[in-house]
């Protein structure tokens, strides 16, 4: 689909306010397309970001949203049959495509794609990698499932041959059940980790491994796969067949790419390549998971010619991602963090890093089980155990949750169940009487608890 300034082709996006589809809209606008879109929830900051770029937003899904007769409709993976606007697309015979396929055909075709896959750490690692390239003057394109604070935007076309993408294993669309990342064809691929997640679309861990192997099959022989040596599920995937060199990272053990922790919580570590020290990362992030993320980004950058010493310099100025252990307030002796937790392992590693940093100061974890997998009660025991490093864990049980959260108390003594946001805030007001760290963990808006808590404290 060619485009020109005199008569720009019109793309209409269903589900435009999601991070991925919103990022895609911004890139399409940069390419010169006329862009419009609809969503059930049109609200800032994504709506503001889109409208500032001249993108027309429509609140709610309606057949009349298509009366503008777009040249192409890009359908987000949250859309399903029965949606009024989806049905209108089909009934009117409009041309349609999934977001990942559009991206593949119109943006990634001639790029050196650096893809970051895994159950955890995709957004943070993608952000690190994009920042390293930016710091070295490459001006990369990127599409990331969050807002890297070094950039302030989640997506851009860029000015180079390099494109960094968060390579998600979620499905592409109701008519394309392949994982999104199968469309991206990365030359440099980071496979951070692999656990059971997305229980709404995958039956079991083996089903996810199969999708990861579909990704491995697309990586060229002169490309590079980067993964932590300790990730057994990734090793299983590679044993299904691998045609690409693999670089493995380790922490505090011998390996080709090795991190040696200077501080136990991960805020300072040495980087070694083939036994030779490359430099020291000294930064604001904590947790071994972020050390692995950083090592992956350093290795990926080297694959395109950036020396580890230069990547390390960039990481010293890395500001993390919005909603990844983001300090949103310091009120008297209480520090409040916003963390985009969606899986027990992410919760566990985040709290472990914080515990090593604050030692014996009080940690209160406040969790909204909002991801589809957690809402289904798949991770009951592992969710309870992931909260072990918190002194108190307040879990929100909304009316529409599919399971009884009191089951969590079988596995941990520090858990309290709250059925209202008021109950959570009342308990936090009591805990705020002494030095404490409140970690709000949700991959959604948590009912607006953030503003309410700040005003109450």
Instruction: Name the segment(s) of the chain with CATH classification 3.40.1190.10.
Output: 110-315
Residues 6+ apart with CB under 8 A from 83: 14, 61
Using only C-alpha atoms, what is the Rg of the chain? Answer: 22
Contact 416/395 with Cβ under 8 angstroms? Answer: yes
Q: Region of 323 please: left (phi>0), alpha (psi -120 to 50) or beta.
A: left
Count of residues making up the chain: 457
CATH of 10-100, one of 3.40.50.720, 3.90.25.10, 3.40.50.1100, 3.30.1490.190: 3.40.50.720
Which tokens is 390 given? 């918190």
Residues 6+ apart with CB under 8 A from 229: 248, 249, 250, 255
Which tokens is 357 given? 């940093």
Half-sphere exposure of 278 (CA within 13 A, CB side): 24
Is beta strand 268-273 parallel, antiparallel or unpaired with respect to 276-282? antiparallel
Instruction: Name the segment(s) of the chain with CATH classification 3.40.50.720.
Output: 10-100
Backbone angles phi, psi at 14, to 5 degrees: -90, 125
CATH of 326-456, one of 3.10.520.10, 3.30.1360.30, 3.30.2270.10, 3.90.190.20: 3.90.190.20
Contact 208/194 with Cβ under 8 angstroms? Answer: yes
From first to last of its 457 residues, what are the pLDDT tens digits of the chain?
545 556 789 999 999 988 899 999 999 999 999 999 999 987 777 788 888 888 999 999 999 999 999 999 999 999 999 999 999 999 999 999 999 999 999 999 999 999 999 888 889 999 999 999 999 999 999 999 888 889 988 899 999 999 999 998 888 999 999 989 999 999 999 999 787 565 566 667 888 899 999 999 999 999 999 999 988 999 999 999 999 999 999 999 999 999 999 998 899 999 999 999 999 999 988 888 899 999 999 999 999 999 999 999 999 999 887 777 888 888 888 999 888 876 787 788 889 888 988 888 999 999 888 765 565 555 678 888 889 899 999 988 887 777 777 778 888 888 888 888 899 999 998 888 889 999 998 877 787 888 888 887 7
Furthest CA-CA distance within the chain:
66
Distance CA 105, CA 100 (A): 9
Instruction: Name the segment(s) of the chain with CATH classification 3.90.190.20.
Output: 326-456
Which among 256, 212, 257 has a CA at the least distance from the CA of 238?
212
Which CATH code is given to the segment(s) 110-315? 3.40.1190.10
Strand order in the sheet with 34-39: 56-59, 34-39, 10-14, 72-75, 96-98
- Helix (H/G/I), strand (E/B), else coil: 317: coil
């Amino acid at each position: 689909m060619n485009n020109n300034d005199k008569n720009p082709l019109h793309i209409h996006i269903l589900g435009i306010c999601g991070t991925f589809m919103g990022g895609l809209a911004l890139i399409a606008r940069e390419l010169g397309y006329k862009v419009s879109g609809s969503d059930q929830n049109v609200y800032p900051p994504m709506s503001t970001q889109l409208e500032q770029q001249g993108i027309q937003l429509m609140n709610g899904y309606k057949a009349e949203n298509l009366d503008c007769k777009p040249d192409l409709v890009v359908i987000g993976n949250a859309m399903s049959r029965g949606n009024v606007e989806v049905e209108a697309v089909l009934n009117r015979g409009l041309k349609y495509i999934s977001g990942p396929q559009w991206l593949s055909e119109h943006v990634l075709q001639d790029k050196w794609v650096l893809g970051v896959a895994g159950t955890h750490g995709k957004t943070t690692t993608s952000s690190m990698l994009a920042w390293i390239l930016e710091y070295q003057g490459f001006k990369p394109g990127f599409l990331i499932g969050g807002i890297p604070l070094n950039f302030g935007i989640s997506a851009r076309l860029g000015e180079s041959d390099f494109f960094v993408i968060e390579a998600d294993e979620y499905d592409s669309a109701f008519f394309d059940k392949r994982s999104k990342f199968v469309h991206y064809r990365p030359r440099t691929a980071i496979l951070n980790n692999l656990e059971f997640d997305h229980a709404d679309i995958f039956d079991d861990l083996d089903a996810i491994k199969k999708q990861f192997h579909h990704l491995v099959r697309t990586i060229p022989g002169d490309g590079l796969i980067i993964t932590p040596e300790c990730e057994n599920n990734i090793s299983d995937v590679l044993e299904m067949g691998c045609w690409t060199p693999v670089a493995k990272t380790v922490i505090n053990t011998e390996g080709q790419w090795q991190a040696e922790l200077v501080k136990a919580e991960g805020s300072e570590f040495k980087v070694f390549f083939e036994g030779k020290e490359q430099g020291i990362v000294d930064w604001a992030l904590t947790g071994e998971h972020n050390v692995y993320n950083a090592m992956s980004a350093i290795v990926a950058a080297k694959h395109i010619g950036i020396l580890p010493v230069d990547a390390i310099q960039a990481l010293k100025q890395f500001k993390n991602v919005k909603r990844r252990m983001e300090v949103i307030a310091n009120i008297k002796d209480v520090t409040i963090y916003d963390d985009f937790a969606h899986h027990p392992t992410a919760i566990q590693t985040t709290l472990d890093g914080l515990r090593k940093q604050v030692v014996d100061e009080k940690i209160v974890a406040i969790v909204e089980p909002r991801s589809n997998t957690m809402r289904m009660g798949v991770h009951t025991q592992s969710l309870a155990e992931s909260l072990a490093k918190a002194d108190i864990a307040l879990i929100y049980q909304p009316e529409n949750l599919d399971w009884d959260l009191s089951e969590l108390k079988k596995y941990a003594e520090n858990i309290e169940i709250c059925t209202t946001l008021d109950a959570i805030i009342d308990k936090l007001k009591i805990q705020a009487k002494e030095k404490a760290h409140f970690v709000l963990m949700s991959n959604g808006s948590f009912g607006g608890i953030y503003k309410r808590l700040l005003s109450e404290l």
